[in-house]
Amino acid sequence: MLDFPFWKKLMLWGITLAAVIAALPSLANSAGIDWPDELPDPMVNLGLDLAGGSHLLLEAEVEEVRSQQLENMEETVRREMRNAEPRIRIGDISTSGGQLSFILSEPGDIDRARGLLEPYIMGDGLNREWDLEVVDTQRMVLTPTETGIEARVDDAMESATEVVRRRIDDLGTREPTIIRQGDTRIVVQVPGLEDPDALKELLGQTAQLEFKLVDKDALPSNVQAGIAPPGSQVVPYAPGTGFEGQFEAVERLGGIRGDSLTNAQAGVDPQTNENVVDITFDAQGGARFAKLSTENVGERFAIILDGEVISAPYFRERILGGRAQISGNFTAESANSLAISLRSGALPVPLTVIEERTVGPDLGADSIRRGMIAMLIGSIAVIALMIATYGRFGVYATIALVFNVAMLLGIMAILNTTLTLPGIAGFVLTIGAAVDANVLINERIREERKRGRKVVTAVETGYKEASRAIYDANITNFISAVLLGLFGSGPIRGFAVVLILGLFTSVFTALPLTRMWVAGWLRKARPADINI
């Protein structure tokens, strides 16, 4: 009991002080004290229910996934038939009625065409994504299966959730909650952000960027009437470009998509002093962009974002090096928003806000104040009871309790975890667990003294016997908390995280830390009896 090596003391104090120091910025912030900028400032983040902020419920437009699936298959069919040796000629390709159909010029090419499309029909090999049938000996009809559509929607939602997370992270906010709800919805909660409009604008942008050649042969009168020549499509100009209400005819295929972007940064064109977005392609995208610009010097191309033309400049020279610039009457804010959207990648499916809510910080501040009052009153009562009941050992338990609270805050700050209202409940629960542990130890020591054991033996036996009960109780709590964390979400997971961390700190402060203090006192004072 009295043998407590120096390295062990050093380790215990080192862990304790490191965690306590990490808690200082959070304690200073809650007390309204400015923390020096020169010092590290790990902070405990407050959740939406404590700090206030924005809550959005987004829903995916599933029909867009179906349309995109058909469009991708159309491009695949054209590419595979064109690259076949010898080439397979097709005509009358259509995507109406949720099906893709096309006619083979030579009926004898049916088997070759089927073989070329078979890998795309089977998808990942586990679920058939398309049904293929031949009608009238020459027409091939591809119909997406429900299993295939569900798989596409699931993939799109997984990607969309990650894109939303990257966009919000770029805003510099702390600990947003982004979780998928059901098959087609995403819940977004951003603590501290009280402007849901800015958040909606950022998340509502699909950011599907395309560069397509303008159809120079299209008649302006037909274009403005919404009539596109064969092989082209009519695209409206985006609001704010100065051409609202006008249209541009662009070649439907053969352009470049923004999925090969590697970077996008808002900036200012030094020649025109306009806000622009500078973009960088990867090697493959840069090569394609260089090829497109080289073959079309002097021609116009349209920069299309989410189905709207931002601008339609000329290729005045070859654009090499994989770098380009997007201009379009941007403000500094809209250019930065577009850069964030492009950097985080395009949403694979448009998201619509179906519920929005701004949560004020007043409720959280009131909850924190009431929680602090409850903790203060409870702590004073517990401290008074512990000292009155166990004397010096009660003092040790009280100091351990204070260190437990500070260590828990410090570890939460280091791990950048979020404190929510349920988290406060977990916080209080761990304090209760720490008090219980000290009561168990002191009661065991008292029993050993009543049995006539000497002081040192009674204390050693008390710690040893109580430790088993403390570990058993905390292991069961730990298992429950882990399961809550694994299967819960949002506030429930926040409660579980605080509870898990609190179990470690309460056991640490109740057992090895108080044992070190008691051993030091016994070795120094050598008391013949103890008041416990």
What domains are there in the chain, each with its CATH number? 6-52+360-525 (1.20.1640.10), 62-149 (3.90.1070), 205-358 (3.30.1360.200)
Residues 6+ apart with CB under 8 A from 109: 88, 89
CA distance readout (Å), 91 to 110, 135, 227, 234, 472: 14, 14, 21, 22, 74
Nearest CA-CA partner of 220 in 234, 238, 237? 234
- pLDDT of the chain along its 532 residues, tens only? 567 788 999 999 999 999 999 999 888 887 777 788 777 888 887 777 777 788 888 898 888 888 888 888 888 888 889 888 888 898 878 888 888 999 988 888 888 988 888 888 876 656 788 898 888 888 899 999 888 888 888 888 888 888 888 778 776 665 677 888 888 899 888 877 766 777 777 777 777 778 888 887 777 788 787 777 777 888 888 877 777 788 888 887 777 777 777 788 888 877 777 788 888 878 877 888 788 878 887 788 888 877 888 778 777 667 777 777 777 677 887 777 777 777 777 777 888 888 887 776 666 667 677 777 877 787 788 888 889 998 899 999 999 989 998 999 999 989 888 788 788 888 888 888 888 899 999 999 999 998 888 888 999 999 998 998 899 888 988 999 999 888 876 678 788 888 999 999 999 999 999 999 999 998 888 888 887 7
**Burial of 244 (C-beta count, 10 Å sphere; 0-12/13-18/19+):** exposed
Q: By the 8 A CB rule, do 49 and 424 touch?
A: no
Please state, in angstroms and rounded to a whole number, the distance separating the CA atoms of residues 481 and 492.
Answer: 10
Q: State the residue for tokens 């006008």.
A: 246
Q: State the residue for tokens 């894109």.
A: 163
Q: What's this model's pTM, rounded to 2 decimal places?
A: 0.58
Residues 6+ apart with CB under 8 A from 387: 394, 395, 398
Residue spans of alpha helices (H) in 104-178: 110-122, 146-170
- Strands 45-46, 418-419: parallel, antiparallel or unpaired by DSSP? parallel
Residue 202 — φ and ψ, nearest 5°?
A: -70, -45
